[in-house]
Amino acid sequence: MTCFRTARTALLAAALSGLALSPLSLRAATFNLETASIADIQAAVDAGALTYEKLTTLCLARIAAYDKQGPAINTVITLNPKALETARALDAEFKARGRRSPLHGIPVLVKDNYDTSDLPTSGGTFLLADSIPYADAPMVRQLRDAGAIVLAKTNLDEFAHGGLGYSSRGGQTRNPHDPRRHPAGSSGGTGAGLAAWFAPLGLGTDTGGSIRGPSSANGVVGIKPTNGLTSRTGIMPCTLSFDTGGPMARTVYDIALSLGFFTGIDPADPLTRTSAGLFYTDYTPFLKKDSLKGVRLGVIRDYNGLDPEVDRVFNEALAELRSLGAVLVDDLHYPAIALQNRANVMEPMRNAEVKQNYADYLATLRPGFPKSVGEIGDRGMKLTEANGKFFPHPSVFTRFKRFDNSPPMTGIAYTSAKEHGMAAVRGAVLGVMEANKVEALVYPTRSRQPELINPDTPNIVDRVNTGSLTSIANVTQFPDVIVPAGLTKEKMPVTISFFGPAFSEPKLLGYAYAYEQATHHRVAPSTTPALPGESFTY
């Protein structure tokens, strides 16, 4: 696969270079940072109108203007102090030897639960604020090998446990479409940063919806890949059986382009062996504007009715899918066993796994940091005042203390859920698809708009029944692709999810691309407008 990736990269680089020499390149083109895809960026670089140093400078300027100032989106935990230096080196390399890959020189926002050997990886907690891992997570290493730039580590819910985008290291990330609202979580910092155009590409992780919720709440594109398609090594665990990492971006093309750089077998992660012979190193050939013609899609209606505006946008999206040739099998519902997956499968597995998962991860860290969930719980519960700028959400540490006393992974509750519960939910989903002869399912990613942050309880929001269906993808380990579908009357984004069987990423990305290219529903937040120098003609 490595040889294929190298050949693919060389061909794409040659194609991009050829674009600069074609007659079309003699025509004037306009570059706009807020709407530029990765291909647009590389075309401007090929034309000599943009450098990677300038691109990185523009991204850093947006972070300076909008992250801690202006609307104070508050996405960044750690800026990479060497980002500009790295960009200059990549400019020099490009001039001397050409582009490593289509990701050469592209700034990336990395969720702060991915190990980075040159920047702290804290998981959002003050307890690990100074923890610098010994090595990059494989997904981070794959980015750097492709020539991408780790621009910043982004905020998340503490230890990725939660859905609000709040941590003791970063405080509350806010939604750039309405800073009174939360960005969802736990990859809220990445989602909000992409929406505010702090970078073209980001990394999130997903255990029960943590890529998809923030993608939806912030109106960007995301993918929760099939578990095993990407490596979990070097990612701070949440519940390893359900955890996966994946890219987030502003276009389906950028998601498809980047996903291929993360695939492959990782000897340290046995689950990746399930992807042997099923993964691709380039998903862009599957992106076709007519991908929806004649495709039978099942419409999942569970949890409709919780938010009339979300329902309205979803119904309009269904009409658009029909106009693009999709055959919709409407008003489908999951069996109770699938809808109750959190209580019956995820909860007993999480209770048993977290203790061991964290012991394994914490053992990889340098000396001086906690080595167990019990130690994490004890240190957190002893706090009587904020350690640093923000006080952690108190439930985080009581939860970790509870995990220390959880039943083992050899217990019958755990083994039954893992061996039988996951299979039962998987069978229920596939049964719905088989009975209705559909190739994928479509549903509103979030059944409600993001809640308002409660001003009476700083950094905590009123929790309501969000009616989430996203955890079904984690229990089945199936892929889910998220794409913007429109705005509510409150100007908040709504997205639809294309959900299908294991390793159906080529089809799902194709459906999402066809829908995106026909509708172009992604909208830039009004709170983070363009800055001088971000748009130019060349």
Backbone angles phi, psi at 127, to 5 degrees: -65, -25
Give the per-residue pLDDT at 397.
84
CA distances from residue 64 to 68, 168, 413 in whole angstroms, order as listed: 7, 21, 49
Q: What are the residue boundaries of the structural domains of the chain, listed by start?
A: 2-13+30-456+467-537
DSSP string, 261-320: TT-S--TT-GGGGGGTTT--S--GGG--TTTTTT-EEEEE-TTTTS-HHHHHHHHHHHHH
Catalytic residue among 167, 210, 275, 447: 210
**β-strand partners of 494:** 486
Q: Which tokens sit at 177?
A: 């479409």
Catalytic residue among 101, 167, 186, 497: 186
The 3-state DSSP class for residue 245 equals: strand
Residues recorded for the chain: 538
**β-strand partners of 486:** 494
Instruction: Determine the topology of domain 2-13+30-456+467-537 in CATH.
Output: Amidase signature (AS) enzymes (3.90.1300)
Query: Is 186 noted as a catalytic residue in this protein?
Result: yes
Using the structure block, give the residue that is written with the tokens 């698809």: 433
Give the per-residue pLDDT at 201.
98
User: What share of residues in the chain are helix, strand, coil (percent, to 5)?
Assistant: 40, 15, 45
Residues of the chain with pLDDT under 50: 1-25, 457-463
CA gap 119, 127 in Å, rounded: 15
Give the per-residue pLDDT at 75.
98
Q: Which tokens sit at 189?
A: 């910092």
Give the per-residue pLDDT at 4.
38
Catalytic residue among 101, 111, 131, 231: 111
Give the per-residue pLDDT at 379.
86
Other Cβ atoms within 10 Å of 314 Cβ, number = 23
Give the per-residue pLDDT at 95.
98
The answer for residues whose C-beta is within 8 angstroms of residue 15's C-beta and 6 or more apart is none
Give the per-residue pLDDT at 135.
98
Give the per-residue pLDDT at 386.
62
Give the per-residue pLDDT at 3.
40
**407: DSSP letter:** P
